[in-house]
Structure 1
Amino acid sequence: MRAVLLTLSMLTLAACGGDGRLMHLGKSGDGPEEFAIVPTRTLEMPPDLAELPTPTPGGGNITDPNPKGDAIAALGGNPGHLAAQGIGAADAALVAHAGRAGIQPDIRAVTSAEDEAFRGRNRRRVMEAVAGANAYYRVYDRQSLDSWAENERWRRSGAQTPSAPPPASTR
């Protein structure tokens, strides 16, 4: 009987210990964590420290002469396409339409500050804090999208949705 109670209590305790890292992602920069996907080379000591080049943020260095090309290759792309500049002809209209109201270069910092202010106004309630409950879904519920309802709304307006499953009436 003790073994059963001990096992049940351990299972109960384990079920309460949800890992909240996916809900509270923390990052300390303005972009993705490139070190998680790009393989790094070993560091080497140069023969003469006086001959080291001036650091170029975002550019190459002795250990990593082509960082952007290496990142593209690590993600399965062709680093040779880096030489091509500009927007492809097929995408020019899309990019022009997306930027028609202007482009904000610091959009990541702006949305981060806005989200922090939003979370400040929507803190956990007392009982959520006492119970250790996650307030993520409650706080962001009004910003979530019901994909099925949105798909039906577009269909009712006459838009074709070829990549979506067929309507229930035609199945």
Structure 2
Amino acid sequence: MIGKAVCGVLAAAALAACSSGDPKLLNLTSTTEGPDEFAIVPNKPLQAPDTYASLPTPTPGGFNRSDASPEAEAIIALGGRPEALNDIPGTDAAIVNTVTRYGVTPNIRATLAAEDLEFRRKNDGRLLERLFNVSVYFKAYRRMSLDQYAELERFRRLGVRTPAAPPQPQ
């Protein structure tokens, strides 16, 4: 009986030793240095023109009517007027200066990647979770998650206008 228990412990240890040193919470791999936060941008709805003859000639790298205009949309979201960009020369520099007025960490991606790797190493699951490759992502990051419905209610109690939100799942 003791011999079987020792063999079981040795087998579990051998399997645990086969894992890589980099815990992957959702078992995702990336081919780049890090995520590209701006890679997924929703497009505007497609529209059919009145006549196809009235369409301008396509230009490589040119403007597309279905493309999002993130700069103007960000200005609108912050309560500004996008047409003011045409009035003020060097507006981009002014925006960048305002946003970075408290300083910038030049190697923020590397810093965050190192901190996240350390966090994942500390929260890589129990022995059987690692052994059976069970994702512990949501359990590890539970303390950092935001309850969107509680936050929505908090804003509403404060009198903040909140646009329509999806109903809370039952």
Q: TM-score, normalised by structure 2?
A: 0.45
**Given the two structures, how large is their TM-score scaled by the length of structure 1?**
0.45
Could you say which structure has the greater relative contact order, defined with CA pairs below 8 angstroms and 6 or more residues apart? 2
Between Structure 1 and Structure 2, which shows a larger proportion of helix residues? Answer: 1
